Amino acid sequence: MRKVALIPVALAACGLLVLSTGAQEKASSTPTIDQSLEWKAAFNPKISPDGMRVVYELQKTNWEENAFERNLWIADVALGESHALTSAKKSSTNAGWSPDGKWIAFLSDRPGQITGTPDGKKQLYVISADGGEAQQLTKVENDVNALEWAPDSKRIAFSMTDPEPKALKDRKEKYGEYSVVHADYQMMHLWTTEVPSGGAPVAEPKRLTDGDKFSVGEFSWSPDGTRIAFSAQRDADLISSETADLYVVTLSDGLVKKIVSTPGPDTNPQWSPNGKNIAFETAAGAKYYYYTNMKIAVVAAEGGTPQILTETFDEDPGLIGWGPDGIYFAAEQKTYAHLFRLNPETKAIEKLSAPDHLAAFSFSFSRDYREVAYRAALENQYAEVFTSGIAPWQGKKLTAMSDQLKAFALAHREVISWKSADGTTIEGVLYTPGDFSTKKKYPLLVVIHGGPTGVDQPIVSADRYYPLERFVAKGALVLRPNYRGSAGYGEKFRALNVRNLGVGDYADVISGVEALIAKGWVDKERMGSMGWSQGGYISAFITASSDRFKAVSVGAGISDWMTYYANTDITPFTAQYLHATPWDDPEIYKKTSPISYIAKAKTPTLIQHGENDRRVPIPNAFELRQALEDRGVPVRMVVYKGFGHGITKPKQQRAVMEENEKWFAQYIWGEKPQEPKTPEPKADKTKSAAVNP
């Protein structure tokens, strides 16, 4: 289970290319906001069973449809050549190879081929790995959520939220629309469908699980194709994640058996090659599992007492699969990320990916687990899709996403560290311009990640929300601190902001700022802060607690933990970090809430929030805005209509970035805000028609 959160060595051997000095000298322009939003990116590589091809998602920006759209591309590993596999309207994602390597299943919200397909819903498709026309397999009422091929390549299991029951439809007809809180759940369940061959008609999917006793999460087929292991929680509500347990369903008779039931979430089951055991991720009974290490455990397929295998591994392991030579998982390591192999007999763990300064994600294995595809980047590089043998690790680049960046002079990223107020070592990523001089003082903009278990890495990515490349090109330094609570630094570090939210985080940020000032690099009269979600919360803390900054931008941030607790869709988050509800310990909620310090607020603050945000509900934004307005502090609040916690469409992301660019241009660089232009008077068409008949 992944925690819910408030997203120069051996370069040649790794296959990651660096621009030559000459190429860097030619690059001179700064990307516009639109250009950054248009950067293409490759995601979710899936290697074929024989290791010879890789299918991946290529994301492009469609301004006309106001969407980031993805289609599938396929690469030949030996030749290093890629071509489009799908090109339909909308997106095609979640590719999965059939075990025989002949077919690729995927999900798409394209216009359906089958009459009666609901518009805009993700349906299940298959396409030949050699290309051709994709065939639609479902026409279900709700989105297909996930898919996995059966070992025989003849069936596909998928999960889907149940359609509205008749009783609910009848209620709507009689009373209109309303909902009952923590009720009216539509559960996620498992289905299977046959893959037609030889021109046979598409078969109707078969339901595998049903009822209102649980809602299905991750799932996987047994090696012999007779059973499916899955995780499920008591209902579809996010706050019920702690109830997730493991089950096995037998396909022949539909019998469902619970095999793991421990306190806290048990998720992501993966079968051993012989089908006798199942590995999974577990909180191992931890009460406060939001910030403690998840663990990998193994249980007999028939059930029994789980055995914890990663007690000595000090990070969250993301279980991937169980190969013939061990259990594979991914994990972050400070500002980098790697692939690991676990010996289930000895519990020994070895890091496989290289070099050390690599951020690698989305691993996918060939049938024999000897070849792996992944997405990765080294410092100051843009992520690409690679393949490698497991041993020796020698990455081969299959994409050329970074070619689109050659025209731009980008900021230099470097990992730095400093001591916080309590002596804790904090790392962060510092962005500097190409002509950076240690003898010059620069404006400083602090950009704070969300989570709190997010982490910033020194790799290149397209700007979203904050136009960082434009800030740096304009002459600013950018600091992205990995404050206490960030992932990659171990359980104790993640727990340092327990009952210390905001307070300890603020100290980490301020100490980083002070460290840069002490070096003589920062003009302390021109500093600003910004962040989204937990980063917005820490920025709100800066607004309310400090007069050292000239401007702050709060994106989807918490202003009052009590307001947050009573309105959010994830109430356990606050109770886990503060070890209390606001009714049990109102003082800790007061201590850690920015609104408690609002009397000190002086800093001009931009507030941006999604209208329908359930993670950090918009009352937090209104509360902060009203408090600042009452105190005469300059404040501007922008609400993005129809959006939740994330602003996910390019036109609105353009607006978010332009709002931030203008805000800091005004308060850091002293530029006057542009006044709205008076519209030209419209011509009197009636009069014109009379004069010129």
pLDDT exceeds 70 at position 684: no
pLDDT at 172: 93
Is 653 inside any structural domain? yes
pLDDT at 682: 44
Residue 409 CB partners (closer than 8 Å, separation 6+): 24, 27, 28, 29, 30, 434, 473
Is 334 inside any structural domain? no
Question: What Rg do the C-alpha atoms of the chain give, in angstroms?
Answer: 26
Is 481 inside any structural domain? yes
Q: What span, in angstroms and rounded, lies between the C-alpha atoms of 132 and 143?
A: 24
Q: What span, in angstroms and rounded, lies between the C-alpha atoms of 243 and 251?
A: 24
pLDDT at 73: 98
Is 491 inside any structural domain? yes
How sure is the predictor about 27, in pLDDT bands with cuts at 50, 70 and 90? Answer: low
Q: How many CB atoms lie within 10 A of CB 564?
A: 26
Tokens, residue 674: 């542009």
Q: What span, in angstroms and rounded, lies between the C-alpha atoms of 131 and 176?
A: 47
Work out whether strand 477-482 and strand 425-432 pair parallel, antiparallel, or are unpaired: antiparallel
Which secondary structure element, helix H or strand E, spans residue 169, and what is its range?
Answer: helix 166-175
Q: What percent of the chain has pLDDT over 90?
A: 89
Q: What span, in angstroms and rounded, lies between the C-alpha atoms of 373 and 379?
A: 20
> What do you get for the CA distance between the two ends of the chain, in Å?
73
Q: Which domain holds residue 566?
A: 411-667
- Of the two residues 404 and 198, the one the predictor is more confident about is 404
Do 528 and 551 form a contact (C-beta atoms < 8 A)? yes
Is 430 inside any structural domain? yes
How sure is the predictor about 26, in pLDDT bands with cuts at 50, 70 and 90? Answer: low
pLDDT exceeds 70 at position 538: yes
Is 200 inside any structural domain? no
How sure is the predictor about 200, in pLDDT bands with cuts at 50, 70 and 90? Answer: confident
Q: How many CB atoms lie within 10 A of CB 12?
A: 9
In degrees and rounded to multiples of 5, residue 351 shows phi and psi of -85, 130
- CATH number of the domain that residue 518 is part of: 3.40.50.1820
In degrees and rounded to multiples of 5, residue 494 shows phi and psi of -65, -25
**Stretch 242-258: mean pLDDT, rounded?**
97
Q: Give the model confidence (pLDDT) of 207-240 as tens digits.
A: 999 999 999 999 999 999 999 999 999 999 999 9
Work out whether strand 326-333 and strand 336-342 pair parallel, antiparallel, or are unpaired: antiparallel
Q: Give the model confidence (pLDDT) of 97-121 as tens digits.
A: 999 999 999 999 999 989 899 999 9
Q: How many CA atoms lie within 13 A of 54 on its CB side?
A: 33
**Tally of domains within the chain:** 1
> What is the DSSP secondary structure assignment for residue 243, as one 8-state letter?
G
Side by side, the strands of the sheet bearing 123-128 are: 92-97, 103-108, 123-128, 135-136
By C-alpha distance, which of 577, 539, 543 is closest to 561? Answer: 577
Is 275 inside any structural domain? no
Is 10 inside any structural domain? no
pLDDT at 10: 30
Q: Give the model confidence (pLDDT) of 153-173 as tens digits.
A: 999 999 999 998 899 999 999
Q: Give the model confidence (pLDDT) of 278-301 as tens digits.
A: 999 999 999 999 999 999 999 999
In degrees and rounded to multiples of 5, residue 574 shows phi and psi of -65, -40
